[in-house]
Structure 1
């Protein structure tokens, strides 16, 4: 008698399908260290996120994943069960350094960057100290003092908001140049795009603010909103029909999100239709002792013999 061979559980999670720029995976300078994935604290949420450090830690890239249930990859003659598709894009390392710099604001004293960039939960954060782009940009978010060829920094909120404001303004220019549709229609749950000429300057600023807010804390995002002098978004009127109410969001849609959830408000249970006269009369009939129609099709229970 033959038995079916059981498949062993696949536990290899070291392989992924990645879309990345050539610069991120350049291994031509192996003496400076190969590219590697490192878990760091997300500057917006504080949770763990995956980042890619290029050769020699010169550049840092953020990693986002598009994931669906029951998805896998056929690679050559093998099956990769981890069906996620990872996107690797450059990120300004100053966004990753900012939470550590701002956390020392209460101390109010100048400190070396090496003393501020420490985290027991994410020891890999020290690799940010090797990133020249990030260290050279610290003056955008902190006051700087040099003593005996050593640089010391102290967090400056006003400088940070000005730096973020410039980020928003450059993002607005890119949106306009790329002819990206913005405005209330894009931020609605229905994803209805508005015409390019219908978007106002406030629409662009608010949309760009939402994109930048993906890389900063919620408190800093609110402070930036005030710094940009953007008015608060008024909530939908209570008299507006539920089907026409739209949830506004300044956050860009990430590939890993479930798109079906954005329109959940439109799938609310509808009230029952009015009954006809025949249905009303049938409802008044005494159904005591009557079997339901499904009872005639259910399997009969066999009675045990004594």
Structure 2
């Protein structure tokens, strides 16, 4: 009797399907090291994110994923259970350096950048110091001083906001050239509005500000919004006119209160009033044989004849 052999499927957990530009995989100068994936601190969230460093750490790329449920890849004779599709795009390394530079703002002194870019949780952040594009751009976010051939830097908030403002303006220009729909009429990334001319300059600025905010902290994003002189977003209109709303209480209801009391029929009843001294003494009088005053003015009921 023959037995069927179970076919074993080997999946390499360290393999992914990645779409990446040729520049990220340029290994023409192999002596400088191969491209490698590195985990660094996300400048916006502070959590761990995956980045791709090119050969010699000259360029940095962010790694994003398109994921759907119940997806796998067939690679050769194997099945890759991680069905995500990763795609790699270039990122300005100054965004990754900025959190470390700005963290020294309270000290208010010039320091070597090597002393600023240190992280026990992400020790490979020092590889950012090898990226020429990021190091050459430090003057956009910091003051520079050179002493004895050595450069020292100090974080500058105003320079940073001006640099981010230029980023927003260039993003607005790209959005217009690419005919990207923006503004309040866009409800999702898959919705395309028919009339593009409805978008105002403020719509473009807010949209571009949102894109740039994906690479900076929340506090810096708020400061940038003020620096762009964008007015605050007005509160949405009430869905029901005030005249039709039920007034449940004159006082604000605190979260700790029992909300079920609003469902009680006795909630609208007023509490009994306190009796005066005269009313209390009158209540003690023996009322037997006495008629109520209203009885003298009430209509008499006619008796039916039998």
- TM-score (structure 1 length as normaliser): 0.75
- Taking a change above 3 Å as real, the CA distance of residues 144 and 207 of structure 1, as seen in their structure-2 partners, is same
Q: Secondary structure of the equivalent of 2:159?
A: helix
**8 Å Cα contact 1:51/1:63 also seen in 2:** yes
- Taking a change above 3 Å as real, the CA distance of residues 249 and 130 of structure 1, as seen in their structure-2 partners, is farther
Listed as ranges, the matches of 1:215-294 within 5 Å are 215-239=215-239
Listed as ranges, the matches of 1:42-121 within 5 Å are 42-121=42-121
Which 5+ residue runs of structure 2 have no aligned equivalent? none
Q: Which residue of 1 aligns with 2:126?
A: 126
- Taking a change above 3 Å as real, the CA distance of residues 283 and 197 of structure 1, as seen in their structure-2 partners, is farther
Q: CA deviation at 1:191?
A: 3.5
**8 Å Cα contact 1:164/1:224 also seen in 2:** yes
Q: CA deviation at 1:295?
A: 64
- Taking a change above 3 Å as real, the CA distance of residues 58 and 157 of structure 1, as seen in their structure-2 partners, is same
For 2:305 and 2:63, the matched residues in 1 are separated by 67
- Taking a change above 3 Å as real, the CA distance of residues 80 and 135 of structure 1, as seen in their structure-2 partners, is same
Root-mean-square deviation over aligned CA pairs: 16.9
Instruction: Give deviations 1:224-255, integer Å, cap 9, x for gaps.
Output: 00000111112322226999999999999999
- Taking a change above 3 Å as real, the CA distance of residues 182 and 115 of structure 1, as seen in their structure-2 partners, is same
Q: Point out 4+ residue stretches in structure 1 off by more than 3 angstroms.
A: 1-11, 187-192, 240-306
Instruction: Specify the structure having the higher radius of gyration (Cα).
Output: 2
Count of equivalent residues: 306
Q: Secondary structure of the equivalent of 2:79?
A: strand
**8 Å Cα contact 1:187/1:248 also seen in 2:** no
- Taking a change above 3 Å as real, the CA distance of residues 161 and 77 of structure 1, as seen in their structure-2 partners, is same
For 2:260 and 2:193, the matched residues in 1 are separated by 18
Q: CA deviation at 1:76?
A: 2.6
- Taking a change above 3 Å as real, the CA distance of residues 52 and 294 of structure 1, as seen in their structure-2 partners, is farther
Which 5+ residue runs of structure 1 have no aligned equivalent? none
Q: CA deviation at 1:50?
A: 0.2
- Taking a change above 3 Å as real, the CA distance of residues 277 and 259 of structure 1, as seen in their structure-2 partners, is closer
- TM-score (structure 2 length as normaliser): 0.75
**8 Å Cα contact 1:210/1:252 also seen in 2:** no
For 2:97 and 2:36, the matched residues in 1 are separated by 19
